[in-house]
Structure 1
Amino acid sequence: MGNCLNKSQSKDSDSDYHVEFAAGNVKLITTKEAWDQKSEEAKRDGKIVVANFTATWCGPCKMIAPLYSELSEKYTSFMFLLVDVDELADFSTSWDIKATPTFFFLKDGKEIDKLVGANKPELQKKLASVNDLIPQHDNQ
């Protein structure tokens, strides 16, 4: 449901690039060093990382981007990251990304859940269930 598997779609207009992928509290990751820095920050602060592996040419990615940004403002105890699979191709390959979008839920750098595809209800459900794992008044 809602997966982009490759770049065979045409890039017929630059208007496709004006979707705001990194709005709200979403942090755009453009280097491996930035990923490492944010991962360490999340560990230190006791935050769950939600990493969205996406692509600018991917229709389903564009469709779910506004919801992802909205959720980043609702779930402030999480750290929402955005990784462009084309900008960080080698890094994305190391995560075995087969389709975009792919969402990883990480605690202390370890995968605790994963969602492949732009399934809005499932993304919301996974966020709610992972949020239930976090002590609500934990001030680490």
Structure 2
Amino acid sequence: MTMNIEYAKTAPARAEIDALSGPTVVEFGTDWCGFCRAAQPLIAQAFQGHGAVKHLKIEDGSGRPLGRSFRVKLWPTLVFMLDGQEVARLVRPGDATEIRDALALIDEPLAR
């Protein structure tokens, strides 16, 4: 799967996220967030070569239960999951290398 470019307005239930198999990145943010927009080129660069990783891009905000269940405080927050379990988390990533390193934790589990 390739990187999603738009935030989904409706979020899946937490149980659906926890039941996902394989590598997944759940990204929380909004289209109007400056930090989120600044991070998009970095995220896109890091996702190159990680086509097997599911990317769920979820619009977050006050009263949104999925973001609250992950205790999201700042945007963008990227939660790196493998088989429904959180492996790593990045908040407001500053470069593609840190995103790539976190992706390697879930996309290449045999390398750990």
Q: Work out whether the TM-score is over 0.5.
A: yes
**Number of the residue aligned with 2:35:** 60
In the superposition, the TM-score normalised over structure 2's length comes to 0.74
**Number of the residue aligned with 1:123:** 99
In the superposition, the TM-score normalised over structure 1's length comes to 0.61
**Number of the residue aligned with 1:16:** none
Gaps of 5+ in 1: 1-23, 136-140
Deviating beyond 6 angstroms after TM superposition, the runs of 4 or more aligned structure 1 residues are none
Q: Residue 61 of structure 1 contacts residue 100 of structure 1 at CA under 8 Å; is this kept in 2?
A: yes
Let me know the Cα RMSD of the aligned residues: 2.8
Counterparts in 2 of 1:110 and 1:128: CA distance versus 1, 3 Å: closer
**Number of the residue aligned with 2:3:** 25
Aligned residue pair count: 108
Gaps of 5+ in 2: none
Q: How does 1:103-118 map to 2 (within 5 A)?
A: 103-118=78-93
Q: Residue 28 of structure 2 contacts residue 67 of structure 2 at CA under 8 Å; is this kept in 1?
A: yes
Q: How does 1:1-140 map to 2 (within 5 A)?
A: 24-26=2-4, 28-33=7-12, 40=19, 42-43=20-21, 47-86=22-61, 89-120=64-95, 121-133=97-109
TM superposition shift of 1:109? 1.2
Q: Decide which structure has the larger Cα Rg and report it.
A: 1
